[in-house]
A and B are shown apart, each in its own frame.
Chain A
Amino acid sequence: MAYRPEPAPFEEELAGLDALEVKTPRARSRARRIWSSLWPKFAAVGIVLLVWQILVWAHWRPKYVFPGPGAAFRSLWDDVANGRILRATGVTMERAAIGYGIALLIGSAIGIAVARVAVLRAAIGSLITGLQTMPSVAWFPLAIVVFRLSETAILFVVVLGAAPAIANGLISGIDHVPPLLLRAGRVLGARGMKAYRHVILPAAFPSFLGGMKQGWAFAWRSLMAGELLVVIGGRAGLGFTLDSARLSQDYPGLMATMIVILVIGIMIDSLLFGVLERRVRRRWGLIEATS
């Protein structure tokens, strides 16, 4: 006779207990959530603008050297309208994307290699952290000697700035995979490359993302330094625009370019990496679903 499970009373009890124990997310509208995360940022920007304006009103420096927010934003508006700032942003972002992309590939490859191969870790593990403490601007004289005033010189320094942070994030992520998860993976049959694909790399992802975020900050800084130092004809990026505004005594233009540089850096940090990071943390249960 075939086995027929009888409906046992414990199943009802179990369902009752489950219903009691599952977390119910607090309902809160999306608009409210966005607003509650946005208004402190608006307030902070407002306070910075106010302090800036007060410094101008107090005649801290002559007005033509240190223009106020009004003049800076008028200049920004003109530069946007005549397309100059957009062209410069385009050049800069192209360099950023290429440099960061290469850094991501190299950093990930080195990170996995160092985490996997003990000899490599002994050889270059501490060197990677050492590289991270080296100010990337210090690479430029060498880069200019070797690569001349070229795109390669800029990319070289951007990659050197970002790749160690990315590699370090991945290495520390792999080092901190909970042993229990590795054992669980092995019991399920995830060994060797499969363990990397299904257990180790996903488990290391939050730390890798942290490294990527830090790597972006290094890349952006290196790129601005590079564009100030390595001037290439016909390829005017934001760094060059900044310096040429200073040379032509266009101080509102200088302020306007700085605003653009700052805003791009913040946008990529918070909109791209910040959103990704929050999503990962929420999925892993490291923050409450509604916060």
Chain B
Amino acid sequence: MSLRPRARETTEPDLHMGSGSAVSLTSVSKVYGAGAEAVHAVDNVSLDVEFGEFLCLVGASGCGKSTLLNMIAGLDKTTNGTVEVRGGRPTLIFQEPALFPWLTVERNVDLALKLRKIDRADRKQVVGSLLEMVHLTGFGSKQPHELSGGMRQRVAIARALAQQAEILLMDEPFGALDAMTRDLLHDEVERLWQDTGFSIVFVTHNVREAVRLADRVILLSSRPGRIAAEFPVDIPRPRRIESPEVGALATEITARLREEVKHHGVQT
């Protein structure tokens, strides 16, 4: 078994392009509760994520970002509309690493392979190369609590990679980390994305982070969550989060986000 490092040439269109999208949401709504107390978390969202695309969803609190991800991951059902996912079950990375504290780093990653019924003989080598991919070689026998927050999140990424999903969903994965660690993990995720050809849907409330990473940024309005605007990001990679181009676009998106929030205040 190999890790399928699919070559990804940024100048040429991906082979999968045109053969449909990795994720298609059609008029998706999600309502929690019923009657007068019903909360419209997501309202009539239609969205395509292309194969190999890095998509960021940004929005203020209550825009239903996490609900959208959970519906794509199959952890939550839609109230209305359809979610279509191609290329196998997506994998989801949470804000917390959600590692199993009773297992070592190695066995946490190994469990993902075991649940996919990979042969024991192959697993050891795959675990080794996955840990190498997230630069954690040598930390395999540690318990999760012995690592820093950023390292734990990288173990979670390795565990997610072990699922060999083609779609990676990330729910504010670096929200709890310090700025320096976060910057380094941006580099790490970008490199993994370029190596593997994943489609990534990345949820964040940090607009700069979204511009630093995404091919396309989707701005969601709050309560109910709707698509308010869409921003293609044409800044060439590799990008730096502190670069003026990233800053300029982030300022533009933030201005639009503020309008959304203000508009919401007037409404209620």
Question: Are B146 and A23 closer than 8 Å at their CB atoms?
Answer: yes
- A35 located at the interface, meaning its Cβ lies under 8 Å from any Cβ of chain B in the complex: no
Given contacts A181-B100, A199-B100, contact A14 B184 (CB under 8 A): yes
Q: Which one of A11, A18, A188, A202 lies within 8 Å of B102 (CB-CB)?
A: A202
- A2 located at the interface, meaning its Cβ lies under 8 Å from any Cβ of chain B in the complex: yes
Q: Which one of B102, B112, B159 lies within 8 Å of A203 (CB-CB)?
A: B102
- Tell me which residues from 12 to 47 in chain A have a Cβ below 8 Å from any Cβ of chain B: 13-15, 17-18, 21-23
A11: which B residues are within 8 A, CB to CB? 135
Q: Mark A187-199, 1 if CB is under 8 A from B, else 0.
A: 1111000100011
Given contacts A10-B188, A22-B148, A181-B98, contact A283 B143 (CB under 8 A): yes
- A3 located at the interface, meaning its Cβ lies under 8 Å from any Cβ of chain B in the complex: yes
A198: which B residues are within 8 A, CB to CB? 111, 114-115
B89: which A residues are within 8 A, CB to CB? 189
A2: which B residues are within 8 A, CB to CB? 7
Given contacts A14-B188, A17-B150, A17-B181, contact A183 B143 (CB under 8 A): no
Given contacts A23-B146, A180-B98, contact A190 B75 (CB under 8 A): no
CB distance from B240 to the nearest CB of A (A): 11
Number of residue pairs across A and B with beta carbons under 8 Å? 99
B144: which A residues are within 8 A, CB to CB? 285
Q: Which one of B102, B147, B148 lies within 8 Å of A284 (CB-CB)?
A: B102
CB distance from B102 to the nearest CB of A (A): 5
- B21 located at the interface, meaning its Cβ lies under 8 Å from any Cβ of chain A in the complex: no
Q: Which one of B75, B114, B136 lies within 8 Å of A183 (CB-CB)?
A: B75
Q: Which of B98, B116, B150 has the most CB of A within 10 A?
A: B98
A184: which B residues are within 8 A, CB to CB? 94, 98-100
Given contacts A187-B92, A190-B115, A202-B100, contact A285 B145 (CB under 8 A): yes
Q: Mark B118-151, 1 if CB is under 8 A from A, else 0.
A: 0000000000000000011001001111111011
Given contacts A1-B7, A11-B135, contact A21 B187 (CB under 8 A): no
Q: A21 vs B136: C-alpha distance in the bound complex, in angstroms?
A: 13
B91: which A residues are within 8 A, CB to CB? 187-188
Question: Are A285 and B146 closer than 8 Å at their CB atoms?
Answer: yes
- B191 located at the interface, meaning its Cβ lies under 8 Å from any Cβ of chain A in the complex: yes
B191: which A residues are within 8 A, CB to CB? 5, 8
Question: Are A3 and B75 closer than 8 Å at their CB atoms?
Answer: no
Tell me the nearest residue of chain B to A21, going by C-beta: B148
Q: Which one of B7, B75, B184 lies within 8 Å of A17 (CB-CB)?
A: B184
- A63 located at the interface, meaning its Cβ lies under 8 Å from any Cβ of chain B in the complex: no
- A205 located at the interface, meaning its Cβ lies under 8 Å from any Cβ of chain B in the complex: yes
A186: which B residues are within 8 A, CB to CB? 75
A194: which B residues are within 8 A, CB to CB? 115
Q: Which one of B99, B100, B146 lies within 8 Å of A22 (CB-CB)?
A: B146
Q: Which of A14, A15, A194, A205 has the most CB of B within 10 A?
A: A14
Q: A198 vs B89: C-alpha distance in the bound complex, in angstroms?
A: 20
Closest CB pairs A-B (n = 3): A285-B145, A21-B148, A184-B98
Give B residues with C-beta under 8 Å from A: 5, 7-8, 73, 75, 89, 91-92, 94, 96, 98-103, 111-112, 114-116, 135-136, 139, 142-148, 150-151, 159, 163, 180-181, 184, 187-188, 191, 194-195
* A-B pairs with beta carbons under 8 Å apart, 17 shown: A3-B7, A10-B187, A11-B135, A21-B147, A21-B148, A22-B139, A22-B142, A23-B146, A183-B75, A184-B99, A187-B75, A188-B91, A202-B103, A203-B102, A284-B145, A285-B143, A285-B145
In addition to A3-B5, A187-B75, 9 A-B residue pairs with Cβ atoms within 8 Å of each other are A10-B184, A17-B184, A22-B139, A22-B142, A180-B96, A188-B91, A283-B101, A283-B102, A285-B144
